[in-house]
Structure 1
Amino acid sequence: MNQNIIFPDLQDWDDASQQIIFPAQVMGANIKCRVSLSRLTKLNGEELTEGAQVLEAFERSRFDIEDHIEELIEQEKFDEDGGVSWC
């Protein structure tokens, strides 16, 4: 794992966008990271319907998600708002 990218243990479920939103800290800057409900469903192999269930699925897949998000950050695959998304 890259020591320059830190993932604090913070995450929120955004029901409106159907995404988990969590921060990454890169050299002191915060980057908004997002993982879609469809991606979490694929990673966990089960239908996810409630916010608490989605957050639990995120925790089970957290290391895989962080690895992928780290790759996106290193490749500078940023969205218009400066964040990264895995849909």
Structure 2
Amino acid sequence: MNQDILFADIQLWDSEKQAVNFPAQQAGALITCWVSLSWLQKKAAQPLVEEADILSVFAANRFDLEELAETMIEDEEFNQGGDIEIN
């Protein structure tokens, strides 16, 4: 894992975006990362409705999500707003 990219142990469900937000930091810059509800539901192989269930699936897949986000940051795959989106 690249030590230049750090992930805080923070995750927040955003019901409007239907995604979980988790921050990363690279060279002092804060990068907002998102993982979609659909991605989490695919991993869980079931519909997720309750916030606690959504965050539980996120936690169970945190390592993989951080690796995906790290690769996307290194490859500069930012959206128009400068965020990383895992769909």
TM-score by length of 1: 0.96
**RMSD value, Cα:** 0.7
User: Which blocks of at least 5 consecutive residues in structure 2 are unaligned?
Assistant: none
Residues 1:37 and 2:37 aligned together: yes
Aligned to 1:54: 54
Aligned to 2:76: 76
Aligned to 2:61, what secondary structure does the other structure show?
helix
CA displacement at 1:9 relative to structure 2: 0.2
Counting aligned pairs with the same residue, the percent is: 45
Q: Is the 8 A contact 1:41 1:47 kept in 2?
A: yes
What's the CA shift for 1:43?
1.7
Kindly provide the amino acid, as one letter, of the partner of residue 63 in structure 1.
Answer: F
| Structure 2 length-normalised TM | 0.96
**Matched length:** 87
Segment drifting more, 39-48 vs 74-83? 39-48
Partner of 2:80, secondary structure, is: coil
2:57 is the counterpart of 1:24: no
Q: Deviations over 1:22-50 (max 9, x none)?
A: 10000111000000000011122222111
Task: Spell out, residue by residue over 1:47-79, the C-alpha distance to the aligned partner (whole angstroms, 9 max, x if none).
Answer: 211111100110000001111111100100001
Contact (CA 8 Å) 1:44, 1:61: kept in 2 or not?
A: no
